[in-house]
């Protein structure tokens, strides 16, 4: 079945947040944004493609770092406004080198963007 | 350590997205929004509190349904603009009665808000 991507609830900028989760361990790795083109490319290639709001361009996770993400399934929530992308991630998902972007705990670690 | 919540990156509306994950199975249950007050109440009470953008009010998950969420840990990502709230969820997280809001698969299920 070819999904009707236009039926997803894209925000005012044509974007939808995508939570990326390791398919077997269920670790939440990262969150990034997709537009319809990046989601289409993700489904076509089974590799994650996102939209960079700062650079205003598509990016393929791992294209430069080698830390690619093989997509096993894409889920969406009851509001159809958030995606859950199940992947098999090679190496770190975070630009800091951590496996997951969510490596800090509120109340234990200093709160600031890295 | 009392976390400095003001150091989180709140959006233009003073909100931050919170991914809610079952702490042991690692199932992603839902995504909702928090403002600083709802996050403070979440930390104080160890129950999840969110900000409803449609009703413009705080809501305590499970207050009416009984499907409460006991918070075990709150994580935040490298950008400090997304929270990962680990919980022990009693019953369904989704208003549809499903355990998780992410029960539909792109390419298998019809895409529309429920």
| Residue contact A101–B78, C-beta within 8 A | yes
User: pTM here?
Assistant: 0.95
Question: B39 vs chain A: nearest CA distance in angstroms?
Answer: 11
* pLDDT of B44 strictly over 90: yes
Give dist(CA A92, CA B111) in Å, integer.
31
**Which chain A residues have a beta carbon less than 8 Å from that of B96?**
78
pLDDT digits (tens, 9 = 90+) for B52-80: 999 999 999 999 999 999 999 999 999 99
| Residue contact A98–B82, C-beta within 8 A | no
Query: CA nearest A17 in B: which residue?
Result: B17
Number of Cα atoms under 13 Å in the Cβ half of residue B41: 14
Q: For residue B4, is it left (φ>0), alpha (ψ between -120 and 50) or beta?
A: beta
**Which chain A residues have a beta carbon less than 8 Å from that of B38?**
none
Give dist(CA A23, CA A71) in Å, integer.
9
Q: What contacts B55, CB < 8 A, 6 or more positions away?
A: none
| Residue contact A76–B21, C-beta within 8 A | no
**Which chain B residues have a beta carbon less than 8 Å from that of A95?**
78
Question: DSSP string spanning B63-100?
Answer: TTTS--EEEEEEEE-TTS--EEEEEEE-S-SSTTS-SS
pLDDT digits (tens, 9 = 90+) for A36-70: 999 999 999 999 999 999 999 999 999 999 999 99
Answer whether A31's CB lies under 8 Å from A93's CB. Answer: no
How do A83-89 and A69-76 pair as beta strands? Answer: antiparallel
pLDDT at B108: 92
Query: CA nearest A114 in B: which residue?
Result: B78
Give dist(CA A100, CA A22) in Å, integer.
10
Report ipTM (2 d.p.): 0.94
Answer whether A71's CB lies under 8 Å from A46's CB. Answer: yes
Give dist(CA B12, CA B57) in Å, integer.
17
Give the number of beta-carbon pairs within 8 Å between A and B: 135
**Closest by CA position to A73, among listed B77, B109, B94:** B109
Give dist(CA B20, CA B22) in Å, integer.
7
């Amino acid at each position: 079945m070819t999904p009707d991507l236009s039926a997803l609830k894209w925000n005012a900028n044509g974007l939808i947040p995508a939570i990326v989760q390791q398919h077997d361990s269920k670790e939440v790795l990262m969150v990034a944004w997709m537009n319809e083109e990046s989601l289409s490319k993700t489904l076509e290639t089974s590799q994650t493609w996102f939209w960079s709001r700062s650079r205003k361009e598509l990016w393929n996770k791992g294209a430069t770092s080698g830390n690619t993400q093989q997509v096993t399934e894409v889920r969406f929530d009851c509001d159809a406004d958030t995606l859950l992308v199940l992947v098999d991630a090679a190496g770190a998902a975070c630009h800091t080198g951590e496996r997951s972007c969510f490596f800090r705990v509120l109340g234990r670690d200093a709160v600031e963007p890295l």
